[in-house]
Chains A and B, each alone.
Chain A
Amino acid sequence: MINITVNGQHHEVDADPNMPLLWVIRDILGLTGTKYGCGAAQCGACTIHLNGEAVRSCVTKLNRAAGQRIVTIEGLSANNDHPLQLAWNELNVPQCGYCQSGQIMSGAILLRENSNPSDQDIDDAMSGNICRCGTYQRIRAAIHKAAAMQTEGAKL
Chain B
Amino acid sequence: METNSISRRNFLRVSGLAGTALCLGFYFPANAKKEELIAALAEGQSSFEFNAWMRIDTDGKVTLTDHRAEMGQGSYQSVPQIIAEELEVDLKDINVIFAIGDPDKYGSQITGGSSTIRGSYKKLLNLSATAREMLITAAANKWGVPASECYAQSGHVIHKPSGKKFNYGELVTDASKLSPPKDVKLKNISEYKLIRKPLNRLDTPMKTNGEAIFGLDKKLPGMLHAAVERSPRLRGKIKSFDDSAALKVPGVKKVFKIQMMVFNTTRDGVVVIADSTWAAMQGRKALRVEWDDSGFEHVNTIDIYKAHEELLKKEEGISHKKQGDTDGALAKATQQIDVIYQTPYQSHAAMEPLNCAAYYQPDKIEIWGPIQAPDWVLNDISTKFKMPKDKVIVNMTFLGGGFGRKAFLDYTHEVVAISKEIGAPVQVVWSREDDIKQGPYRAGISYRGQGAIENGDISALKFKMAGQNIDHWNGPARGKANGSTSEGFLKPYYDSIKNISFADVPYEMPLPNMWWRSVYASTNGFAYESFMNEMAVLAGQDQLDFRRKYLKDERCQRLIDRMEEVSGWKSRQKNQGYGVAITECFETTVGQVVKVSRNAEGKVKIDKVWAVMDCGWYVNPDIIKAQVEGSVVMALGAATIHEITFKNGLVEQNNFYDYLMPRMSDAPPVEVHIMENTADAGGVGEPGLPPFAPALTDAIYDLTGKRIRKLPFNMNAV
Contact B212 A97 (CB under 8 A): yes
Contact B432 A40 (CB under 8 A): yes
Which residues on A sit within 8 Å (CB–CB) of B431?
39
Is residue B557 contacting chain A, with contact meaning CB distance below 8 A? no
Q: Interface digits, B310-341 against A, CB 8 Å rule (1 contact, 0 not)?
A: 00000000000000000000000000000000
Which residues on B sit within 8 Å (CB–CB) of A23?
276-278
A-B contact count (CB 8 A): 191
- Other-chain residue from B251, B281, B626, B663 in contact with A92 (beta carbon distance below 8 A): B626
Nearest A residue to B433, CB-CB: A39
Which residues on B sit within 8 Å (CB–CB) of A15?
276
Contact A136 B633 (CB under 8 A): yes
Interface residues of B in 651-678 (CB under 8 A from A): 655-657, 661-667, 669-670
CB distance from B623 to the nearest CB of A (A): 8
Contact A16 B207 (CB under 8 A): no
Which residues on A sit within 8 Å (CB–CB) of B73?
95
- Other-chain residue from A39, A133, A136, A137 in contact with B432 (beta carbon distance below 8 A): A39
Which residues on B sit within 8 Å (CB–CB) of A131?
351, 633
CB distance from B352 to the nearest CB of A (A): 5
Which residues on A sit within 8 Å (CB–CB) of B201?
92, 94
CB distance from A109 to the nearest CB of B (A): 15
Contact B655 A40 (CB under 8 A): yes
Is residue B349 contacting chain A, with contact meaning CB distance below 8 A? yes
Given contacts A35-B351, A126-B664, contact A100 B622 (CB under 8 A): no
Contact B351 A37 (CB under 8 A): yes
Given contacts A33-B211, A80-B205, A80-B209, contact A122 B664 (CB under 8 A): yes
Interface residues of A in 57-78 (CB under 8 A from B): 72-74, 76-77
Stretch at the interface among B214-222, B479-487, B610-618: B214-222
Is residue B57 contacting chain A, with contact meaning CB distance below 8 A? no
- Other-chain residue from B208, B623, B632, B657 in contact with A134 (beta carbon distance below 8 A): B632
CB distance from B397 to the nearest CB of A (A): 11
Instruction: Please measure, in the bound complex, the distance between the C-alpha atom of A88 and the C-alpha atom of B207, giving whole angstroms.
Output: 9
Which residues on A sit within 8 Å (CB–CB) of B516?
none
Is residue A96 contacting chain B, with contact meaning CB distance below 8 A? yes
Contact A96 B622 (CB under 8 A): no
Is residue B203 contacting chain A, with contact meaning CB distance below 8 A? yes
Which residues on B sit within 8 Å (CB–CB) of A97?
72, 203-204, 206-207, 212, 398, 400
Is residue B465 contacting chain A, with contact meaning CB distance below 8 A? no
Which residues on A sit within 8 Å (CB–CB) of B250?
16
Interface residues of A in 83-110 (CB under 8 A from B): 84-85, 88-90, 92-101, 104
Which residues on B sit within 8 Å (CB–CB) of A101?
210
Nearest B residue to A33, CB-CB: B210
Interface residues of A in 17-37 (CB under 8 A from B): 19-20, 23, 26-28, 30-37
Is residue B630 contacting chain A, with contact meaning CB distance below 8 A? yes
Contact A89 B204 (CB under 8 A): yes
Which residues on B sit within 8 Å (CB–CB) of A45?
351
Is residue B74 contacting chain A, with contact meaning CB distance below 8 A? yes
Instruction: Please measure, in the bound complex, the distance between the C-alpha atom of A36 and the C-alpha atom of B251, giving whole angstroms.
Output: 20
Contact A16 B630 (CB under 8 A): no
CB distance from A150 to the nearest CB of B (A): 16
Contact A38 B204 (CB under 8 A): no
Which residues on A sit within 8 Å (CB–CB) of B251?
16
Interface residues of B in 131-181 (CB under 8 A from A): none
Which residues on A sit within 8 Å (CB–CB) of B210?
31-34, 72-74, 101
Is residue B440 contacting chain A, with contact meaning CB distance below 8 A? no
Instruction: Please measure, in the bound complex, the distance between the C-alpha atom of A100 and the C-alpha atom of B642, giving whole angstroms.
Output: 23
- Other-chain residue from A40, A76, A134 in contact with B630 (beta carbon distance below 8 A): A134
Which residues on A sit within 8 Å (CB–CB) of B351?
35, 37, 43, 45, 96, 98-99, 130-133
Is residue B693 contacting chain A, with contact meaning CB distance below 8 A? no
Contact A132 B634 (CB under 8 A): yes
- Other-chain residue from B278, B401, B622 in contact with A132 (beta carbon distance below 8 A): B401
Instruction: Please measure, in the bound complex, the distance between the C-alpha atom of A94 and the C-alpha atom of B625, giving whole angstroms.
Output: 13
Is residue B353 contacting chain A, with contact meaning CB distance below 8 A? yes
Contact B208 A104 (CB under 8 A): yes
Which residues on B sit within 8 Å (CB–CB) of A115?
none
Which residues on B sit within 8 Å (CB–CB) of A28?
276
Contact B277 A27 (CB under 8 A): yes
Nearest B residue to A62, CB-CB: B278
B residues lining the A interface (CB < 8 Å): 71-74, 200-201, 203-214, 216-217, 219, 225, 250-251, 276-279, 281-282, 349-353, 398-403, 429, 431-432, 622-623, 626-627, 629-634, 655-657, 661-667, 669-670
Can you list 10 residue pairs at the A/B interface with Cβ under 8 Å?
Answer: A40-B432, A73-B210, A94-B207, A123-B663, A123-B664, A127-B663, A130-B351, A130-B663, A133-B401, A134-B667
Per CB-CB distance, the 4 closest pairs between chain A and chain B, nearest first, are: A33-B210, A134-B633, A98-B400, A97-B207
